[in-house]
Amino acid sequence: QELQYSTHLPPSVLVNSAGVEKVFDLVSKATGGEVTAKYFWAGQLYDSAGNFDAIRGGVIDTAFTQPASNQAEMPVNMMFSDLYHFGGDPYVTAAAVNATILLDCQSCRDEYAQANALFLGAHAATPAMTVCAREIRSIDDLRGLRIIGQQAVADWIGHLGSTQLDVPPPGQLEALERGTADCTNISPEWLTAFSIGEAAETIITAPIGSQFATSFMTMNSDTWAGLSDEAKTAFLQAMPQAIAAIVDGYVAADEEALAAAEEQGLTFTDLGGAYRQELDGFLSDYASRAAAKGEARGVADAAAIVAAFQDNIAKWQGIVD
C-alpha cells in the first residue's frame, strides 16, 4: 500500500529528513514493506492550506498541516498559537502539546475528525530568540524598532513599543540587510538556514517562546481505517521516535548555528536580565488572555485546554529534569 505524503516544506528541512521520512521508514520496516510512501515535497501539489483540503477530500493520505492556514475551521487547535510564549525546552513542549491533543482535548481531535482527518503528532521548534541587525544594549534600544515576527508574537512586539512586520523566512535576510526591518524573532538554526546571521549583529539570548501549533503527520481518516492493525501500531510507535529525532536535529542545528555566530563575532546578551523581566511582566496574565482569545473565537472549553497544557508542561518538565 503506497501512502502519499504532501508538504509545502522542502525535503531538506529537519521535519522532513529526520521526521517524516523516519516515520515511513520505520513503518515500512515494521510491516515488511507492506506500507510505502510517495512524497510530494515543497508544495509540488499544494500549499499548506491546500494540504488540509486535500486530506479532507481524500486526495492525499498524509500531509503537513497547520491550523493557522485554516483558521475558521480550526479555532480550537489555533489555541496552541495563542500559547506560543509557553514554548520552552522543545522536548517538554513537544511532549506537552501531543499529550494535550491526544489525551486531554477531545474538541481538538473532533476538529480534525470533522475534516475527515486524524492528528498523529506535532513537533516543537526550539525557542526563538530576538536577533537584531544593530547593536542593542538595553531594553530601550528595542523600542520603536521594526521587528519581524509571526502573528503569535504581535502582542509582545506591540508591548515593547515596536512595530510588527510579517516577512517570510526567505525574505528576512534582505529586509535586515536593507534596513526594512531591524530585528527578527527566530530559532537560532535560521541564522544559517536562511543566512540571517549574515545581517545580524546582536543576539538576545533570552528565549521568548516557540512554534508548536503544527501537525507534520495529519492522516485522512479513511486511509487510517484502511490500514492493517500491524501498520497502525507501527505508526503509533514510530511517531514519538520521529518527534524526538526532529527535536534532536533542531537542538544540534541550533548549537552549530550559535557556535558559528560566536565565531563570527556577534554580540550575545540577555540585556542583564532586563529582557526576561519585561517578558515575564507581559506574561503575568498570559494564560487567561489566551483562554479569552479562544473563547472569543467560540472555543467553549478554552480555559480547560490552557490549564491542561500548562499541567502537561509542568509534568514533562519534571520528567525531563
Partner 1 sequence: MSDFAIGVAGLGVMVLMIALRFHIGLAMGAVATIGIWLIAGPRATSSVLQNIPYSFAANWEFSAVPLFILMGSIAHTSGMTTSLFRAARLWLAWLPGGLAIATNLGCAGFSAAAGSSLVTSISMGRIAVPEMLRYNYDKGLATGVVAAAGTLGVMIPPSIPMIIYAYFAEVSVGDMFMAGILPGLLTAFLFSLMILIRCTLRPELAPKIIEESDPAEKWRALLEVWPLPVIIFVVVGTIYAGIASATQSAAFGAVAALVIAAFQRRLSWPVLRDALLDTIRNSASLFFIIIGAVLLTRFMAYSDLPETVADMVIAIGVSELTLVLVTAAVFLVLGCFLDPIGLMLLVLPVFLPIYIAADINLVWFGILFIKYTEIGLITPPVGMNVYVMRTILPDIPLQVIFRGTAWFFVTELVVLALLIAFPQISLFLPSLR
Partner 2 sequence: MRRLARCAAEAYARAITAGACLALVLATLHIFADAVATKLFLSPINGTHQIVTFYYMVALFFLPLGYAESQGAHISADLGFSLLSRRLQRIATTANHLLLTGYVGLLCWYATVKAIQQTEVGAYETIAGGQIPLWPSRWIAVMGLLAMLAIAALKALDSILGAESDTETPA
In this chain, which of 24, 46, 80, 235 binds partner 1, going by CB under 8 A? Answer: 46
Q: Which is nearer to partner 1, 49 or 292 (CB)?
A: 49
Q: Which does 239 bind (CB under 5 to 8 A by kind): partner 1, partner 2, none?
A: none
What SS3 class is residue 76? Answer: coil
Among 179, 226, 272, 273, binds partner 1 (CB under 8 A): 179
CA 222 to CA 58: how far, in whole Å?
Answer: 8
Q: Does 41 bind partner 1 (CB under 8 A)?
A: yes
Told to check if 43 binds partner 1 by CB under 8 A, we report yes
Q: Are 143 and 153 in contact (CB under 8 A)?
A: no
Encoded amino acid at 270, one letter: D
Count Cβ atoms within 10 A of the Cβ of residue 281 and give its class: 0-12 exposed, 13-18 middle, 19 or more buried: exposed
Stretch that binds partner 1, among 20-28, 174-182, 242-250, 313-321 (CB under 8 A): 174-182
Single residue of 79, 101, 173, 200 touching partner 1 by CB under 8 A? 173
Binding partner of residue 144 among partner 1, partner 2, none, CB cut-off 5 to 8 Å per kind: partner 2
- Residue 137 is given by DSSP the state -
For partner 2, which is the closer residue by CB, 179 or 272?
179
| Cα gap 175→168, rounded to integer Å | 10
Q: Give the 3-state secondary structure percentages of the chain, helix then strand then coil, rounded to 5.
A: 55, 15, 30
Which of 1, 29, 36, 58: binder of partner 1 (CB under 8 A)? 58
Contacts of 280 (CB under 8 A, 6+ apart): none
The secondary structure of 248-293, three-state, reads: HHHHHHHHHHHHHHHHHCCEEECHHHHHHHHHHHHCCCHHHHHHHH
Residue with cell 510579517: 166
Shortest distance, position 155 Cβ to partner 2, whole Å: 9
Nearer to partner 2, 72 or 319 (CB): 72
DSSP at 41: -
User: Is 117 a residue that touches partner 1 (CB under 8 A)?
Assistant: no
131 binds, among partner 2, partner 1, none (CB under 5 to 8 A by kind): none
Q: Which residues of the shown chain bind partner 2 in the complex (CB under 8 A)?
A: 70-73, 78, 144, 146, 151, 154, 158, 162-166
CA distance readout (Å), 112 to 43, 107, 119, 228, 309:
21, 9, 7, 21, 18
Compute the least distance from the CB of residue 254 to partner 2, in Å.
Answer: 28
> Which residues form the interface with partner 1 (CB under 8 A)?
10-12, 40-47, 49-50, 53-54, 57-59, 167, 169-171, 173-175, 178-180, 192-195, 198
